[in-house]
Amino acid sequence: MHEPLAEPALDQLFRTARTYNAFSGEVSDDTLRTLYDLLKFGPTEANTTPARFVFVKSPEAKAKLGPALSEGNYKKTMAAPCVAIVGYDLKFYDKLPVLFPHTDAKAWFEHREPDNLAWVAMRSSALQTAYLILAARSLGLDCGPMSGFDNAKVDAAFFAGTSIRSNILVNLGVGDPASIYPRSPRLGFDEACRIE
């Protein structure tokens, strides 16, 4: 059994980590590579790893993203040093001969209905978004995940002609403590859990 993480690490990942609404700083390409190299090890269904990431940093890329953002998310997203677009590949099964080599897992998925494939891909890409957030926090970055955007516009701007669809956006950078609200309550163990 591994040793539990020290209290400061648990604070950084969970207890004192917050969703920020304003960011500063820079996010280097090397940091983004390290971020991916951490998050890629998180488990997904049959190791499908359907998430595909676009890290939006340049003014040109932000100009493409801007029209897809809701009014409430526009300013903070345009000002963030980096925005991760987390998409999911509906043809994730094409990678399974490499990703799940001990059996023919591609056959489990390739003939399924599109709605079923989308559900599998969205579910596992949502897991991968959570790994992205935890990896970013472990690297000292703050995050602002959101779903307030027009998926069709993001897909047209960044994934046109592919089998990839957008799922979630995550602003990355150094969070401004003045931009957060008081922490909202969470359910207690007895409200959300049971042990049988």
Flag whether 6 is in a domain: no
Flag whether 57 is in a domain: yes
Flag whether 84 is in a domain: yes
185 has pLDDT over 90? yes
What whole-number distance in Å separates Cα of residue 191 and Cα of residue 35? 34
Domain that holds residue 151: 19-173
Quickly state the pLDDT bin for 154 (edges 50, 70, 90). very high
Flag whether 31 is in a domain: yes
Quickly state the pLDDT bin for 140 (edges 50, 70, 90). very high
pTM of structure = 0.96
**Tens of pLDDT, residues 101-123:** 999 999 999 999 999 999 999 99
Predicted local confidence at residue 126, as pLDDT: 98
Flag whether 165 is in a domain: yes
What burial letters (b/e) apply to 147-177, b meaning 16+ CB within 10 Å? eebeeebbbebbbeeebbbbbbbbbbbbbbe
Q: What is the CATH number of the domain that holds 91?
A: 3.40.109.10
